[in-house]
Amino acid sequence: MTTSRPTDAWAHLGLVEVGDRIRRRDLTSEQVTSEALSRVSRLDGHLNSFVVVLAEDAMQQAQAADREILSGVWRGPLHGVPVAVKDLLDIKGLPTGAGSLILRSTIAETDATVVRRLRSAGAVIIGKVHTTEAALLDYHPSLPQPRNPWSAEHWAGASSSGSGVATAAGLCYGAIGTDTGGSIRTPSAANGITGLKPTWGRVSRYGLFPMADSLDHIGPMARSAQDVAAMLQAIAGADSQDPTALLAPRDDYLGKIAKPIDGVVIGIDDAFALDGLDAEIARPVRDFCEVMIDLGAQIKSVKVPWDDEINDAGLAIMLAELAHTHADLFSAHASQYGPKAAVTIEIGRNIEVGSYIAATQRRAAFVGEMDRMFQDVDLLITPGLGIPVPSLADLEALASDVDAVRHTLYRFASPFNLSGLPTLSFPGGSDANRMPIGLQLVGGRLTEALLCRAGYAFQQVTSHHVRRPEIA
């Protein structure tokens, strides 16, 4: 067996590529994991992406993976590959902090289903990564804030910011995120990586500290559509511990990824996706359409059934369910919440039952309208964010206006939590500050394989996803 000499260049390989090199014994998991941990030690003091680093345990996992592979046992493309897990998911023996002070002493007794499935796939879990407090927009003022590796002065997204930063910075090859109103997609856009929010229920939520149960999704974040397909292959599927997990069989997400996209119909609603946007955001959407036409896809005009009434309904459901999640904790420990989280929970506590019922009824109509739209197209293209990645100073000013936040940062995210439909977020360009610009594809129910195919096709002929931040 010949193995390569350790080098930082490994840090920026794709997950599938490094997994294949470990399988072929061109690299070992021990080498790759050691290098990942070394980068965490060197760089994360500035980036603040990790809550806890499981260095000793990770090296033991890596050595076990190498022994298995050497003996002829290969568990799949994640075998021996270092990944991270958002600190909303249980890892046995560790606290699930959820970005708060209150939960940091509560130790998980079992692994979340997603964590268990990552272990079964042979992935090396190197640690837990930060989230905003209660998976909202802001961090608890006493806890570190992850820094965007492209620019420490710019937003890193929310709430799976630790997942986005660690993956973009080459500290791991992929990470698990969660998404209630855009929490996989905004960090993917802001950090220049690829993220997949699956159909609601496609991935078990057992072992997740919830934000809003009926809107929460769990999904993979990595550097390419191929990599998130490999991760989804490992974590998707029915689960007896989560009755809301869908019973539909897993698709072959990775095996189908290279199928041509000839004849795939991609919808675009110019009013929804482009009106009022900065040219820097609109241009990559048009460029994407041109690339996909060249690859054999069709572009078709559609009308997304989204309006301010739906927007308000989605916010009411999210805040009411958030308040329900925190009902007991907030009653007992309100003073230990950060001020912005506390205000948000109080708003949710004051939503009347009648308003919540009206919002759920409007949601049901919207779900049906979206399903009908996807009778005419296979996918829908939108920007990732409604504005270029904001600086932290601009974000602070923006965050004081809830409507402005909804119509810019989350304009293209929240609708698809409300509908439960799957989305793929991926890099589509860069702005004048060289910050990433994200795109988003939306599919009908359980079309994750098609989303990955389309993203892979685009990434085979473009290079946005291989740009890397200039860090040591």
**Which residues are known catalytic residues?**
86, 159, 183
Q: Which amino acid is at 54?
A: L
Residue carrying the six token digits 């209660």: 134
Distance CA 410, CA 374 (A): 22
- Counting every residue written for the chain, the total comes to 472
Q: Where are the beta strands (DSSP E) in 223-370?
A: 265-268, 298-301
For 291, how many CA atoms within 13 A lie in the half-sphere containing its CB?
19
Match 């990955």 to its residue by tokens.
452
Q: What is the dihedral of CA 177, 342, 314, 302, to 10 degrees?
A: -60
Enumerate helices (H) and strands (E) in the chain, giving the number of each. 17, 11
Of 115, 145, 143, nearest in space to 128 by CA: 115
Burial class (CB in 10 A: 0-12, 13-18, 19+), 190: buried
Tell me the C-alpha distance between 53 and 40, whole Å: 8
CA pair distance 20, 1, nearest whole angstrom: 15
**3-state DSSP assignment of residue 349:** helix
CA 26 to CA 4: how far, in whole Å?
Answer: 6
Task: Identify whether the C-beta of residue 146 lies closer than 8 Å to the C-beta of residue 163.
Answer: no
Residue 375 burial (CB count, 10 A): 7
